[in-house]
Amino acid sequence: MTADIAPDDQQLTGKVAIIAGAGALEGGIGNGRAAAILLARAGARIMAVDRDMERAAETVEMITREGGEAFAHSADMTEEADCEAMVALAMQTYGRVDVLDNNVGIGSSGSVVDEVLENWERVMRVNVQSMFLTTKYAVPAMIDSGDGGAIVNVSSISALRPRGLTAYSASKGAVISLTRAMAMDHAADGIRANCIAPGPVYTPMVYGRGMSDAARAQRRAASPLGIEGTGWDIGNAVVFLSSARARYITGQTLVVDGGITVAAPPRDPNI
């Protein structure tokens, strides 16, 4: 057994994690909220950041109810001043930053012909610019902390399997390339950068828009495993990539999709 890798329940003890997009609708468990809770269970102290302070505070309440340590902060990750202030507050509060988990994102649909410039720019701003800005300020803080760090960016299988969501697919493809660039740029600083590409997981962002039982069953059947992914599956991947168990992994995209990209039929536009 490798001596420098802690047991599962201690693998992130003493670390500080910023979760960008830590809220969720209606008390549900989205990717960011799941990551925040699971990182806290692994011992990390959490800065739960969301544009909606009430949602961030709800995540913190879930963490502290289990005995974890966390605080909530409201920020718009597409605004540079907000990202700079967010990292500064983490340093002021905890004196270090070790993990940055970037979950902020929005969807879109339609081809390049259907898309309008205003929405294209909005999707790129939210899905790509947010990760550029949060990382721009988190990396120097990780270096100052002295132990390197881990960046986990959330992309999508839509980057790997385009399916009628052109602006979204392009933005999520940019996230993968951005992650690889970060991995190369900051490897010498001891900072690892990896990406998660979720499949169609069942989260508040999905069911908040409305989804029939039949559509949900069809999504489940699309997986060769015949099961449904949730925010917890993405959160567990974040914990792994943030921990010393992933110490030799950087610049990679971890697909968490139940095998859908291996065997899925063409996308049904109704799901």
What CATH number is attached to the domain comprising 182? Answer: 3.40.50.720
User: Distance between CA atoms of 7 and 230, rounded to whole angstroms?
Assistant: 25
* pLDDT tens-place string over residues 151-181: 999 999 999 988 889 999 999 999 999 999 9
One DSSP character per residue, 169-181 reads: HHHHHHHHHHHHH
In a domain, 207, yes or no: yes
Number of domains in the chain: 1
Q: Say what the pLDDT of residue 265 is.
A: 57
Angstrom distance (rounded) from CA 36 to CA 29: 10
Is 261 domain-assigned? no
Closest CA to 236 of 42, 66, 22, 10: 42
Q: Does 266 fall in a domain? A: no
Radius of gyration of the chain (CA): 18
- Residue 202 bears catalytic tag: no
User: Which pTM does this prediction carry?
Assistant: 0.91
Task: Decide if 96 is inside a domain.
Answer: yes
Residues 121, 72 contacting (CB under 8 angstroms): no
Owning domain of residue 203: 12-256
- Residue 22 inside a domain? The answer is yes
Residue 66 phi, psi dihedral angles, 5° rounding: -90, 0
Query: Is-contact 29 204, C-beta < 8 A?
Result: yes
Phi, psi of 178 (to 5 degrees): -60, -40
pLDDT of res. 1 = 35
Domain presence at residue 268: no
Residue 46 contacts residue 12 (beta carbons within 8 Å): no
Q: What residues of the chain score a pLDDT lower than 70?
A: 1-10, 208, 264-271
CA dihedral 123, 18, 182, 229 (to 10 degrees): -60
44-70: per-residue pLDDT in tens? 999 999 999 999 999 999 999 999 999
Q: Which of 94, 137, 168, 202 is catalytic?
A: 168
